[in-house]
Chain A
């Protein structure tokens, strides 16, 4: 599966990735400091040990994406090659994806009358043509590199082993929320990059699927219990009648006039 590895120790914050992303997705110039419906990747800065650290944010392209799991019509889905893509034509606009994404990635076109969910699509078109992601291609310092997920994990482990003092000892995205197609290495705590650090290793969709999978047995049990109660209470009433007692409350009127 295709993935990218971003290493903020190599990033100088030049903005080539942002520019390439804008061009690739035909987005307007913007100076927004965060991801928006018109900006799919963003460079930010945080304080590090030796001065400013630049870091990048973009859709993580989860292996088992929360957004795809919550969408009632499957307007978002994870493709076999890696990208999590969106189809506006079938989207209802319920915004459950915006609400549920643990990384706060999907943005909404609030001012549009035909609003779409907007986010990085991992350059799905380019990947289909055999090219690599526009941001990775544009990066002059090798901070963002593209490749097969397994080989990028090997590369990341090698970097961590070679210079352990330089990095936080973790590859973000290796296991978080079940793993992601965007992997990150950092010299500052991942929380300082605005990444959620308390995510379970289990994919988020399991949280709801565990409950949803109980529905068929619940329906079967519920239907049996209801049927049982129906017969039981009716029988009780019949017995009361047979014994010459009028069931106290049965005198209430019928639903229909004759």
Chain B
């Protein structure tokens, strides 16, 4: 059975990569118009909404967990530091890959380093992403250095790891929130269910929640893939913090909607505005449900249920970001944007490449070594299922 399932996933991955390769060819030989459903009314699509907004957000576990361990000394979380850093590092690398597809003139990207427009949110995001990717590379480097037995280099990185983590927290806070600020300049375009002067704050809170969700989800996947013990008590703590951030998000979100008088928009269940209202409730339900589930001790005690909860959080987060970047702009743009199959193929290929890079790194680098040594797998049954 396991063999069959593995074969299925391998074939699926190959099909996706073949589609992605063809789409890549079309994108770079015939342009954005031939490969995407983007147009002058919908100039940003899946590659911005998913590859950038979601990619960066889901990598937020990187700064959250490292800050908890290195700044707040929550040593209990140390076993998941390395896989989290790896996830975040790969995430940011893939965001840059996605950006190369989306930019019309990607060969000019280096100019953002020399031509500064400090009034542009995009400029700030570009710099923070660039600097934070460097931070992540350094945080990741000990895994490579250990593998190469360059212990002197490991010691050098270890000496600067605390300020590095602090810097990572600040840079992440800035650009996670700024991805929301990107939309502040479109008050007449973005639907009132999503346009808010506190979008940067909402983006930051939801990124932390989703980033922690991703930590649990990724731990579940890798425990399963590598027949490895699940750091279950650690993940239970992470789940509680995730639920706290989700609750905070929903409270702030609804207070903001009520304060702006936009709440009635959510109840337009028929006619114009019903599409937006429906998507709003889908997003809200997916982000609220896990709070409820995680609060039930029986659910929390079950590894598979916890991983499933985290998957729902990630799903809710994806819907939220795609709502801001596409659903919320539909009405004002006058067109309904839905990505082309080639946009979807490129995005899925990037995800497949990411999963495989994680698998390779986990196999050949000491990613999990401090998680398992000297300990018996506690949830062996889950690992084998």
Instruction: Spell out A's residues near B (CB within 8 Å).
Output: 36-37, 66, 69-74, 89-96, 98-100, 102, 104, 107-108, 110-115, 196, 198-200, 204-205, 207-209, 211-212, 215, 218-219, 222-223, 226-227, 229-230, 233-234, 236-237, 247-258
Whether the Cβ atoms of B122 and A72 lie closer than 8 Å is yes
CB contacts (< 8 Å) of B102 on chain A: these are 94
Q: List 7 A-B contacts (CB under 8 A).
A: A66-B185, A108-B104, A115-B32, A205-B185, A211-B121, A215-B124, A226-B170
Kindly report which residue of chain B lies nearest to residue A88, judged by CB atoms.
B105
Asked if B251 is an interface residue, CB under 8 A from chain A, the answer is no
In the complex the two chains form, is B32's CB within 8 Å of A247's CB? no
Question: Is B111 touching A211 in the complex (CB atoms < 8 A)?
Answer: no
Chain A's nearest CB lies how many Å from the CB of B98? 13
Residue contact B78 to A252, C-beta cutoff 8 Å? yes
Closest to A106 in B: B40
Chain B residues within an 8 Å CB radius of A248: 76
Chain A residue nearest in CB terms to B99 = A94
* Pair B33/A110 contact, Cβ less than 8 Å: yes
Closest to A205 in B: B119
Query: With the chains together, A65 CA to B210 CA distance in Å?
Result: 35
A87 nearest CB across to chain B (Å): 10
A69, A222, A227, A252 interface centre (most CB from chain B within 10 Å): A252
Question: Is B73 a contact of A234 with CB atoms below 8 Å?
Answer: yes
Task: Given contact pairs A94-B103, A212-B118, A255-B158, enumerate 19 new A-B contacts (beta carbons under 8 Å).
Answer: A71-B117, A74-B120, A91-B104, A92-B111, A100-B185, A110-B31, A111-B30, A112-B31, A113-B31, A114-B105, A115-B105, A199-B188, A205-B185, A208-B121, A229-B72, A251-B75, A254-B370, A256-B151, A256-B155
Majority secondary structure, B binding face = helix
Query: Cα distance A70–B181 when bound, in Å?
Result: 11
Which residues does B use to contact A, with CB under 8 Å? 28-34, 38-41, 43-44, 67, 70-76, 78-79, 102-106, 108-109, 111-112, 115-124, 126, 142, 146, 151, 154-155, 158, 161-162, 166, 169-170, 173-174, 178, 181-182, 184-189, 200, 370, 373
Known contacts: A70-B122, A73-B115. The answer to whether A208 contacts B184 by CB under 8 A is yes
Q: Which residue of A lies closest to B182 (CB)?
A: A96
Interface centre among B33, B75, B200 (most CB of A within 10 A): B75
A96 to B124: give the CA distance in the assembly, Å: 13
Known A249-B74, A249-B75, A252-B78: A69·B119 in contact at CB below 8 Å: yes
- Report Cα–Cα, A226/B71, bound state, in Å: 7
Decide: A102 and B104 in contact? CB cutoff 8 A.
Answer: no
Q: Which residues of chain B are within 8 angstroms of A95 by Cβ–Cβ distance? A: 43-44, 104
In the complex, which residues of chain B have a beta carbon less than 8 angstroms from the beta carbon of A74?
A: 115-117, 120
Q: A107 near B40 (CB under 8 angstroms)?
A: yes
Contact yes or no, B154 A256, CB < 8 A:
yes
